[in-house]
Protein backbone atom coordinates (compact mmCIF):
# COMPACT_ATOMS: atom_id res chain seq x y z
CA UNK A 1 0.00 0.00 0.00
CA UNK A 2 1.14 3.54 -0.73
CA UNK A 3 1.90 4.76 2.79
CA UNK A 4 2.69 8.27 3.90
CA UNK A 5 3.31 9.68 7.37
CA UNK A 6 2.19 13.10 8.56
CA UNK A 7 1.49 14.75 11.93
CA UNK A 8 -1.85 13.84 13.44
CA UNK A 9 -2.76 17.42 14.28
CA UNK A 10 -1.57 21.01 14.14
CA UNK A 11 -2.82 24.30 15.55
CA UNK A 12 -2.28 27.73 14.05
CA UNK A 13 -3.48 31.27 14.53
CA UNK A 14 -5.25 33.13 11.80
CA UNK A 15 -2.98 34.93 9.37
CA UNK A 16 0.00 32.63 9.92
CA UNK A 17 1.67 30.44 7.35
CA UNK A 18 1.19 26.73 7.99
CA UNK A 19 3.57 24.07 6.78
CA UNK A 20 2.53 20.42 6.94
CA UNK A 21 5.26 17.90 6.22
CA UNK A 22 4.67 14.43 4.87
CA UNK A 23 7.13 11.53 4.74
CA UNK A 24 7.07 9.03 1.89
CA UNK A 25 10.38 7.18 2.13
CA UNK A 26 9.46 4.43 -0.32
CA UNK A 27 8.03 6.60 -3.04
CA UNK A 28 8.09 5.00 -6.48
CA UNK A 29 9.58 6.61 -9.55
CA UNK A 30 6.19 7.17 -11.17
CA UNK A 31 4.41 8.42 -8.02
CA UNK A 32 3.18 11.98 -7.76
CA UNK A 33 2.50 13.62 -4.40
CA UNK A 34 -1.07 14.79 -4.04
CA UNK A 35 -2.71 16.74 -1.22
CA UNK A 36 -6.40 16.82 -0.41
CA UNK A 37 -8.46 18.84 2.06
CA UNK A 38 -11.55 17.46 3.76
CA UNK A 39 -14.18 19.30 5.77
CA UNK A 40 -16.57 17.37 8.05
CA UNK A 41 -19.26 15.47 6.15
CA UNK A 42 -17.81 16.40 2.76
CA UNK A 43 -15.75 14.58 0.20
CA UNK A 44 -12.03 15.37 -0.08
CA UNK A 45 -11.12 18.31 -2.26
CA UNK A 46 -7.96 18.41 -4.39
CA UNK A 47 -5.47 21.07 -3.30
CA UNK A 48 -2.22 20.56 -5.16
CA UNK A 49 -0.05 17.95 -6.81
CA UNK A 50 3.61 17.75 -7.72
CA UNK A 51 6.47 15.47 -8.72
CA UNK A 52 9.55 17.39 -7.59
CA UNK A 53 10.83 20.88 -6.68
CA UNK A 54 8.12 23.46 -6.11
CA UNK A 55 4.56 23.81 -7.32
CA UNK A 56 2.34 26.79 -6.52
CA UNK A 57 -1.29 27.52 -7.21
CA UNK A 58 -3.83 30.01 -5.90
CA UNK A 59 -4.40 27.96 -2.75
CA UNK A 60 -1.06 26.52 -1.64
CA UNK A 61 2.53 25.68 -2.43
CA UNK A 62 4.09 22.25 -2.46
CA UNK A 63 7.79 21.70 -1.86
CA UNK A 64 9.39 18.38 -2.78
CA UNK A 65 13.15 17.94 -2.26
CA UNK A 66 15.39 16.21 -4.76
CA UNK A 67 15.24 12.81 -3.02
CA UNK A 68 11.42 12.98 -3.01
CA UNK A 69 11.24 11.19 0.34
CA UNK A 70 9.20 13.96 1.86
CA UNK A 71 7.08 16.91 0.87
CA UNK A 72 5.74 20.03 2.54
CA UNK A 73 2.38 21.63 1.96
CA UNK A 74 2.46 25.35 2.65
CA UNK A 75 -0.74 27.29 3.29
CA UNK A 76 -0.14 31.05 3.33
CA UNK A 77 -2.02 33.22 5.81
CA UNK A 78 -4.58 30.67 7.00
CA UNK A 79 -8.08 31.66 8.04
CA UNK A 80 -10.67 29.97 10.22
CA UNK A 81 -12.17 28.37 7.12
CA UNK A 82 -8.95 26.44 6.55
CA UNK A 83 -9.73 24.29 9.59
CA UNK A 84 -9.92 20.82 8.07
CA UNK A 85 -8.12 17.51 7.68
CA UNK A 86 -5.30 17.51 5.14
CA UNK A 87 -4.23 14.30 3.45
CA UNK A 88 -0.94 13.62 1.73
CA UNK A 89 -1.08 10.79 -0.79
CA UNK A 90 1.14 9.07 -3.29
CA UNK A 91 -0.55 8.91 -6.67
CA UNK A 92 0.76 6.21 -8.93
CA UNK A 93 -0.94 3.51 -10.90
CA UNK A 94 -2.93 2.14 -7.98
CA UNK A 95 -6.01 3.59 -6.26
CA UNK A 96 -5.40 6.36 -3.78
CA UNK A 97 -4.88 5.05 -0.26
CA UNK A 98 -5.59 7.51 2.52
CA UNK A 99 -3.60 7.71 5.74
CA UNK A 100 -4.87 9.36 8.90
CA UNK A 101 -4.22 12.89 7.63
CA UNK A 102 -3.37 16.03 9.61
CA UNK A 103 -6.16 17.78 11.47
CA UNK A 104 -5.44 21.51 11.22
CA UNK A 105 -7.20 23.78 13.68
CA UNK A 106 -7.02 27.50 12.98
CA UNK A 107 -7.60 29.69 16.00
CA UNK A 108 -8.80 33.28 15.94
Partner 1 sequence: GAVVSQHPSWVICKSGTSVKIECRSLDFQATTMFWYRQFPKQSLMLMATSNEGSKATYEQGVEKDKFLINHASLTLSTLTVTSAHPEDSSFYICSARQTAGANVLTFGAGSRLTVL
Residue of 28, 80, 96, 107 that binds partner 1 (CB under 8 A): 96
Q: Is 70 in the site for partner 1 (CB under 8 A)?
A: no
Minimum CB–partner distance for residue 21 and partner 1 (Å):
18
CA dihedral 60, 53, 87, 44 (to 10 degrees): 60
Strand ordering across the sheet containing 18-23: 18-23, 70-75, 61-64, 53-56
Site map (CB under 8 A) of partner 1, residues 14-53, x = contact: --------------------x-x----xxxxxx--x----
Minimum CB–partner distance for residue 49 and partner 1 (Å):
6
- Burial (CB count <10 Å: 0-12, 13-18, 19+), residue 67: exposed
Distance CA 51, CA 68 (A): 8
Q: Is 95 in the site for partner 1 (CB under 8 A)?
A: yes
The footprint of partner 1 (CB under 8 A) covers: 34, 36, 41-46, 49, 87, 91, 95-101
Amino acid sequence: LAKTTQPISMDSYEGQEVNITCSHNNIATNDYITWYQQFPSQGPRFIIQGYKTKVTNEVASLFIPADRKSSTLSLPRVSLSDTAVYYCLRRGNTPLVFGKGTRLSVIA
